Chain A
Amino acid sequence: MVWLLVFLAVAVVIQSRQASAIATSRRLGQLEEQRGALEAEKAALERTIRLASSRRELGARAAQLGLHFPQDSEFTNFRLPAER
């Protein structure tokens, strides 16, 4: 009788560990999918930002506004100020 109880207890422990592992594995899979989806979204947004802030895009818009890229004499390279 004792042996039967021991057997049942061990079986229950094994079963619960197995079920828990499968649930964790499933959750892990879902999180990986979620991470993949978010990474894809991030990459798509970065591409949009990169293209929107490209010189091609900004240059065309600047030209429409009557702006131009400065000549070398129209800007000054400042030297780095020290920390206060």
Chain B
Amino acid sequence: MAKPAVRLTLIELVLALGAVLVVGRAAQLQLIDGATWRAEADRVRKETLVLAARRGGIYDRNGVALALTQEYFEVGVAPNELRDRSEDVPAIAAALGMPVSRVAAEVRTRKWIGYRGPFSGFQVRPLRGMHGVHIDGHFARHYPAGSLARGVIGALSADSARGVSGVEVALDSTLTGVPGLAVVLKDRAGRRYASPARNEREPAAGRDVYLTIDAELQEIAERAMDDAITEYQASGGDVVVLDPSTGELLALASRQTVDGTVITNKASFFTDPFQPGSTAKLFTAAALLARHRVDSTDAVFAENGVWEMSVTSRGDTRIIHDAHKSTGDLTLAQAIQVSSNIAMAKFSQRLTALEQFEALRDFGFGSPTGVEYPSESRGGLRPPEKWDGYSKASIAMGYEFLVTPIQLAAAYASIANDGILLTPSLVREVRDPSGRVLYRHQPEPVRRAVPSVVAARLRAYLGSVVAEGGTAEGAQLRDYSLIGKTGTAVRNEGGVYKAGTYTASFAAIFPANDPQLVMIVKVDNPGGVRVYGGQTAAPITKNMLEEALAARTSAIDRRRLSERRPDAPAVGPRSGIAPVDVASHDQIVSLPLPTDSGESKGQSLVPNVAGTTLRRAANALHRRGFRVALRGAGTVLRTTPAAGESERYGTVVTVWAE
């Protein structure tokens, strides 16, 4: 037995060794393995959540919401966790709009019930805090205007995270926000603690996109297409409405019938090329005028409506027919007016293939227009070395090349715009969530397609088409001047021209003296007795314009419509409407109104009209040179663009009232 002193020393040594081991282990845990254990502790106690960012909205040019992102909810019910089924089941059924009997049966028989909905926040509100009810939220797209302009807007992926078609995909990075991050504490059971400082990074919402589309005009265009399918037994069609001075697309409608079902969300105006027929005669006429190959007195014999044209040196011939049989000679203007294939075929021989090709290229055919859309067709225009002896005549008649409705609209817009071809645009503005403008569309000239004097001459030719003796004389408005060109092309399906099937079209410029709108109306395969462009597409255009003129749409600047057609009949009583005695209104003032001071060149500041009446607001805005769109009634709340912003004269300011 050792001495007590030795035993004590031994015990002290053992204790000291133990202490060293404890300290050593602690040092190992905290200093050497500290980071690993801290991470493990965080993993158990904390959870990092990704906070979804709201996707930016899509609006029309006046701020009418077309696509918005909202939070929607799914509801899960754990029957075992419900505290009082007799009270909870009716409450759940009422909130979700379901029969009580169905919910009760499911609660009795199942361990977990998932109601995918989607349910709005308003619907699930009464269920919040109810034991056994689990609510999960997610963002989803909401379309306040229904199916309006869906072909343009496009669609999102199933999880609503990214765009898969249309503007949604073209501007995906602009519309998509930046997700936020949050860290929450959990207990051992995995339940999350509420924490006042849990968000490490707030989610940033995406930017809002304001399209150039005018909702009112878009609705008129879509309705016109629906009516066309019914009235003309057509298989589909397209409408494009464009502002020729800016290139902004105001309305785009498409209808296609597949197996008896009408498809409304296709963007065929961008993607589906067609042979334009006689609407393209104007471009060969432009080439002839620009190169001085024709003067106003030049005329060719119209062959009484049938001409056998020699197309090769071997003596091969092609027979060309005119729907409108003409006797005698036709000038270029008359050839356009009566849409003579024979005269255009003869005139086209005065151009070389390269000249005709270059003229069409100058109008933008054969190239995508560059509109902000993800899938645009370039149409089809073969290089001149691939043309044969008939091609010049055929192309002059609108065959052997393909155009999209948007290309045709842009080309006609250049004629309305004194010969300058502009890039068509679909995006008017991009704004951040606070409303600050990040991008605003400015007209983008591509090139001069024809000299100004030639454009004016072509517009005069178009005027003759809707005048007496023209192919669209029934399309003329009574009081305001519409000009345009009809087209009726035999359809080519699978490389074969199918007799008796047509694409009817009408390209219009309105009004003639100061163009504000270019309209392309195309009717596919009209099935009734009326198949020509002048019988189908032209009346549709006229009806659309009449509706637009009578509507509240701001797409038409009525101040610039003040001049009536010189040949218009005087306004008189008709259909029971009393004549208006303008002279008796002593308060009428001339427009444009004198402008206020404080303006920069061509621009003006949007005045603050919040809190005033609509009348005062409209007057104040008109005085600054703006056009006005009204939303709501009563006291003015705000304007879009906001007060204080500098805008160009003629900009539409939307006034939002209570």
Contact = CB atoms under 8 A, between A and B. Distances in A.
A7 interface: no
Interface string A72-84: 1111111111111
B461 to A, nearest CB: 23
A10 interface: no
A61 interface: no
Contact of B120 (A26, A44, A84): A44
Given A33-B128, A79-B588, A81-B589, A73 B478 contact: yes
Interface residues of A, number: 40
B121 A36 contact: yes
A55 B571 contact: no
B219 A25 contact: no
A77 B124 CA distance: 49
B195 A81 contact: no
Given A33-B128, A75-B549, A56 B585 contact: no
A16 interface: no
A54 to B, nearest CB: 6
A43 B549 contact: no
B292 interface: no
Contacts of B568: 73
B550 A55 contact: no
B478 A40 contact: no
B142 interface: yes
A76 B223 contact: no
A77 B561 CA distance: 9
A22 interface: yes
Q: Is the interface of A mostly helix, strand, loop or mixed?
A: helix
A74 B125 CA distance: 51
Contacts of B175: none
Interface in B508-563: 543, 545-547, 549-551, 558, 561-562
Nearest to B128: A33
Contacts of A55: 216, 219-220, 223, 547, 551
B114 interface: no
B43 interface: no
Contacts of A37: 120-122, 124-125
A83 B545 CA distance: 31
* Smallest CB-CB A-B distances: 4 pairs: A37-B121, A21-B196, A40-B120, A73-B478
Given A41-B120, A83-B616, 20 more contacts: A21-B196, A33-B125, A36-B71, A37-B122, A37-B124, A39-B70, A40-B120, A41-B121, A41-B122, A47-B145, A50-B64, A56-B223, A72-B477, A72-B545, A73-B571, A74-B574, A75-B550, A80-B619, A81-B585, A81-B588
18 contacts: A25-B194, A29-B194, A36-B121, A40-B121, A44-B120, A46-B144, A47-B142, A50-B64, A70-B546, A72-B550, A73-B569, A73-B574, A77-B562, A78-B588, A79-B591, A81-B588, A82-B619, A84-B587
